Copies of this chain bind each other. A is one copy, B any other.
Amino acid sequence: MGSSLKEIAERVGTSTASVSIYLNNRDTKRVSSAMKKKIDVAAKELNYRKNIFASSLSKSESKVIGILIPSNIPLFKNGYTNSLLSGIQSSLALKGYSLLFFPSSASSSKENVQEQLQNSAGCDGYILFSTGFCTMEHILWNIRELENTGKPFVTLNIPRVSKEVNQIIIEDLTSLRSLEYLLDAGHEKILLILGRTNGEHMQFILTEYRKILKQRKIPFDNRRIIYGNYSHKDTFLKVSNFLAVHRDISAICAMSDLMASSSLAAVKATGLTVPGDISIIGRNNSLYSELSDPPLSTLEMKIEDAGRSAADLLFEQITNPATCRKIFISGEIIERQSVNEKS
| Chain A residues within 8 Å of B, Cβ to Cβ | 1-2, 47, 49-57, 62, 64, 72, 74-77, 79, 82-83, 85-87, 89-90, 92-105, 117-123, 148-151, 232, 258, 261-262, 265, 268, 287-288, 290-293
Structural contact, B82 and A76, CB atoms closer than 8 A: yes
Structural contact, B288 and A287, CB atoms closer than 8 A: yes
Given the known inter-chain contacts A77-B82, A291-B292, please indicate yes or no for A117 contacting B232, CB distance below 8 A.
Answer: no
Structural contact, B97 and A99, CB atoms closer than 8 A: no
Integer count of this chain's copies in the complex: 2
Structural contact, B86 and A76, CB atoms closer than 8 A: yes
Contact residues in B for A56 (Cβ distance below 8 Å): 53
The 9 A-B pairs of least Cβ separation, nearest first, read A1-B150, A93-B103, A74-B90, A47-B148, A76-B86, A53-B122, A49-B121, A53-B56, A51-B121
Q: How far is the CA of A292 from the CA of B291 in the complex (A)?
A: 8
Structural contact, A100 and B98, CB atoms closer than 8 A: yes
Q: Which of A2, A98, A148, A232: most chain B CB closer than 10 A?
A: A98
Structural contact, B92 and A97, CB atoms closer than 8 A: no
Q: Select from chain B the residue with minimum beta-carbon distance to A48.
A: B121
Contact residues in B for A82 (Cβ distance below 8 Å): 76-77, 82
Contact residues in B for A105 (Cβ distance below 8 Å): 93-94
Given the known inter-chain contacts A2-B150, A47-B149, A261-B291, please indicate yes or no for A52 contacting B120, CB distance below 8 A.
Answer: yes
Q: How far is the CA of A105 from the CA of B98 in the complex (A)?
A: 12
Q: List 30 A-B contacts (CB under 8 A).
A: A1-B148, A1-B149, A2-B121, A47-B150, A49-B119, A49-B121, A50-B118, A50-B121, A52-B122, A52-B123, A53-B54, A53-B56, A53-B62, A53-B122, A64-B100, A72-B93, A74-B86, A75-B85, A75-B86, A75-B89, A82-B82, A92-B103, A93-B104, A99-B101, A100-B101, A232-B287, A232-B290, A265-B293, A287-B288, A291-B291
